[in-house]
């Protein structure tokens, strides 16, 4: 770890939050937490360069929670996020940190969710609002959200908000919040526009940047698996089973709770595994390491701190089950293998949203990390069969087989079958409890992740399960169910990074909406509203015609009813859009401006519109 802060208690957090952190299994602050928490507790503004996976949510959430007056049921903190998924995740994180704060209420509000529900929830009162810019702006305009009591404003993933075209909304919100509040702006990158926003709205901000120190790693084979299609646990056991050089492994997770859970699950699958975390006293810790050395244990599941300094030459594999917070932690972790002149293997599990961290690690270690193809069912079966044959071959060379050969002859005679059939029956008996073939399907391999086109973006709607689903928990916020039924549109990078492209292929249907230029609406407002409310990525939004009183927009045929319903209820600039299929010809003068791919394309009137047909 790149920080000397060893404990959350050193950061100035209250007893109740410290208790919660210990209960949820956070042992030590991540580097960004160690840096941000004291600064925010001191009341300063922060400009933080940090990406997903660094622990930034807790870095801003914990200090802002310290400032909440629970007796005042009014929004005292507002967190803006680019997507509804992130809004929900952040709200969930806050809810989990509020375990020992009775009456604490956090509310996620985002496009696509019914206004009726949101209005009810807002009226009930919430201490913290986590929302997407468009919807927050809407509520502020309608005066259904009042920020008079605001103490903290957080802009999370600001560059992503910029990329998605929400920066004007964000600035509008910043303009409409009371002067006196603390502001924290987090962004993985710091493009000029974000810097400008920071200069304009942050007061003497402290700049926080997690250093990614370059380091060289020993000759360790480094690979990553893109988490997709299979639970991490199943992937882990498949990989461990076919890895040729497997002898012993150390598996890194983030929380002490996770060390215990994973150890239990691996034990249940027949592995000799144990947890190693900060709850173990020195004697117990030494015992675990001794057992790993002697071979009584093959796998140890550890947190960063607990695994420091472990030197066990037989560790052939380090698995980063949860990605580390920074490159330094990565280098420390993988340094547990490849010791005493042996070869080492480091396997990293990377969720799509963590791709940026993967690239940062590669840059810092100056070594590429190769993608690992998940072993197929056939691979695992072949490996098991090979192992089985080896065992049989050993026994074939052993003494004292006559007695059994005699039994086989008797069986052949009595059952009137050949020796192969008897051998097959015996083989079947022998695999009981540990079948040679694994059940289930092979997952479809994921599309490769590319950084340059921004694939670490938040996924499109429906692409990623929110964390509560990954954890197998039930949603805590009322109307989450709707999200999983949303259309799943193809993977694609965010707008600003993509080249202009032709209109989407496939059948399109033209719709009319009751907002136009006279309402101050621009093309990007329409794209933003549709993207946010119906979860349709802008790629799938066809031509848009912007007229005086109304506009037309082409959307993919076969839009799910739910998305259509969401759009029927949508307002743009406060005006109900009243989406319906468009039968007639466009009316009014056209002077639309289509913003796309980070650039602008201007269309100058009806003639151009007809000729170009809103060519994108």
Q: Which residues bind ligand AMP (CB under 6 A)?
A: 26, 29-30, 33, 52-58, 254-255
How far apart are the C-alpha atoms of 19 and 22, rounded to whole Å?
5
Element (H, E) at 40: helix 31-41
Nearer to ligand AMP, 26 or 461 (CB): 26
Nearest partner of 117 among 147, 144, 96, 150, judged by Cα: 144
How far apart are the C-alpha atoms of 31 and 66, rounded to whole Å?
20
Contact predicate 596/495, CB 8 Å = yes
Nearer to ligand AMP, 53 or 592 (CB): 53
- Helix 256-268 crosses helix 232-242 at what angle (to 10 degrees)? 60
CB of 429 to ligand AMP, least distance (A): 45
Nearer to ligand AMP, 96 or 565 (CB): 96
Nearest partner of 319 among 349, 275, 344, judged by Cα: 349
HSE-up (13 A, CA, CB side) for residue 517: 13
Nearer to ligand AMP, 55 or 528 (CB): 55
Nearer to ligand AMP, 128 or 529 (CB): 128
Contact predicate 315/276, CB 8 Å = no
Nearer to ligand AMP, 52 or 532 (CB): 52
How far apart are the C-alpha atoms of 329 and 327, rounded to whole Å?
5
| Summary count for the chain: helices (H), strands (E) | 23, 22
Nearer to ligand AMP, 56 or 285 (CB): 56
Reading the block at residue 292, the tokens are 């790993």
Task: Cite the beta strand spans of 145-279 per DSSP E.
Answer: 152-155, 182-187, 206-209, 220-226, 248-252, 273-276
Nearer to ligand AMP, 8 or 590 (CB): 8
Sign of CA dihedral 42, 45, 50, 53: positive
Nearer to ligand AMP, 254 or 483 (CB): 254
How far apart are the C-alpha atoms of 108 and 112, rounded to whole Å?
12
Contacts of 281 (CB under 8 A, 6+ apart): none
Burial of 588 (0-12, 13-18, 19+ CB in 10 A): middle
CB of 311 to ligand AMP, least distance (A): 24
CB of 455 to ligand AMP, least distance (A): 17
Contact predicate 567/533, CB 8 Å = yes
Nearer to ligand AMP, 22 or 382 (CB): 22
How far apart are the C-alpha atoms of 563 and 109, rounded to whole Å?
17
Q: Which residues pair with 276 in a beta bridge?
A: 302
How far apart are the C-alpha atoms of 328 and 32, rounded to whole Å?
13
Nearer to ligand AMP, 30 or 360 (CB): 30
Relative to beta strand 508-513, strand 580-581 is antiparallel
């Amino acid at each position: 770890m790149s920080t000397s802060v060893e404990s959350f208690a050193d950061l100035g957090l209250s007893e109740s939050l410290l208790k919660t952190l210990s209960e949820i299994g956070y042992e030590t602050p991540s580097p960004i937490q160690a840096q941000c928490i004291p600064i925010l507790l001191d009341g300063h503004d922060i400009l933080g360069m940090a990406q997903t996976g660094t622990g930034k949510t807790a870095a801003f959430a914990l200090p802002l929670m310290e400032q909440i007056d629970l007796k005042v049921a009014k929004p005292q903190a507002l967190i803006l996020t680019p997507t509804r998924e992130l809004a929900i995740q952040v709200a969930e994180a806050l809810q989990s940190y509020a375990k020992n704060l009775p009456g604490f209420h956090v509310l996620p509000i985002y496009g696509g969710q019914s206004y009726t529900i949101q209005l009810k929830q807002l009226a009930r009162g919430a201490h913290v609002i986590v929302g997407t810019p468009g919807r927050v702006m809407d509520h502020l305009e309608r005066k259904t959200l009042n920020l008079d009591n605001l103490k903290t404003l957080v802009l999370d993933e600001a560059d992503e908000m910029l990329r998605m075209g929400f920066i004007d909304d964000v600035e509008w919100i910043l303009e409409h919040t009371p002067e006196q509040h603390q502001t924290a702006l987090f962004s993985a990158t710091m493009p000029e526009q974000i810097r400008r926003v920071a200069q304009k709205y942050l007061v003497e901000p402290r700049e926080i940047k997690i250093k990614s120190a370059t380091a060289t790693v020993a000759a360790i084979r480094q690979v990553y698996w893109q988490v997709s299609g299979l639970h991490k646990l199943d992937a882990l056991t498949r990989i461990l089973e076919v890895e040729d050089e497997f002898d012993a492994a150390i598996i890194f997770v983030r929380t002490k709770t996770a060390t215990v859970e994973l150890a239990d699950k691996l034990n249940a699958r027949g592995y000799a595994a144990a947890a190693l975390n900060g709850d173990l006293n020195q004697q117990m810790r030494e015992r675990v390491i001794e057992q790993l050395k002697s071979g009584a244990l093959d796998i140890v599941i550890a947190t960063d701190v607990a695994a420091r300094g472990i030197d066990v030459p037989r560790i052939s594999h380090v698995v980063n089950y949860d990605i580390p917070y920074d490159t330094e932690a990565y280098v420390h972790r993988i340094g547990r293998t490849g010791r005493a002149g042996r070869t080492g293997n480091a396997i990293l599990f990377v969720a799509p949203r963590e791709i940026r961290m993967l690239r940062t690690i590669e840059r810092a270690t100056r070594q590429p990390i190769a993608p690992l193809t998940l072993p197929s069912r056939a691979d695992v079966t072949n490996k098991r069969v090979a192992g089985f044959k080896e065992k049989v071959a050993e026994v074939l060379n052993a003494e004292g087989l006559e007695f059994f050969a005699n039994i086989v002859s008797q069986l052949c005679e009595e059952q009137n079958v050949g020796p192969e059939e008897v051998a097959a029956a015996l083989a079947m008996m022998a695999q009981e409890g540990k079948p040679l073939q694994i059940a289930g399907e092979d997952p479809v391999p994921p599309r490769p992740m590319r950084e340059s086109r921004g694939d670490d973006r938040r996924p499109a709607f429906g692409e990623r399960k929110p964390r509560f689903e990954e954890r197998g928990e039930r949603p805590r916020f009322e109307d989450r169910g709707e999200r999983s039924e949303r259309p799943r549109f193809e993977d694609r990078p965010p707008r600003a990074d993509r080249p202009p492209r032709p209109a989407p292929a496939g059948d399109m249907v033209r719709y009319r909406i009751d907002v136009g230029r006279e309402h101050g609406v621009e093309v990007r407002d329409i794209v933003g509203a549709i993207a946010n409310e119906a979860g349709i990525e802008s790629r799938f939004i066809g031509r848009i015609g912007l007229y005086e009183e109304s506009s037309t927009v082409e959307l993919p045929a076969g839009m799910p009813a739910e998305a259509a319903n969401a759009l029927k209820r949508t307002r743009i600039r406060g005006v109900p859009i009243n989406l319906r299929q468009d039968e007639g010809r466009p009316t009014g003068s056209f002077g639309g401006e289509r913003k796309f791919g980070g650039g602008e394309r201007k269309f100058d009137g009806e003639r151009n519109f007809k000729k170009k047909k809103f060519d994108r």
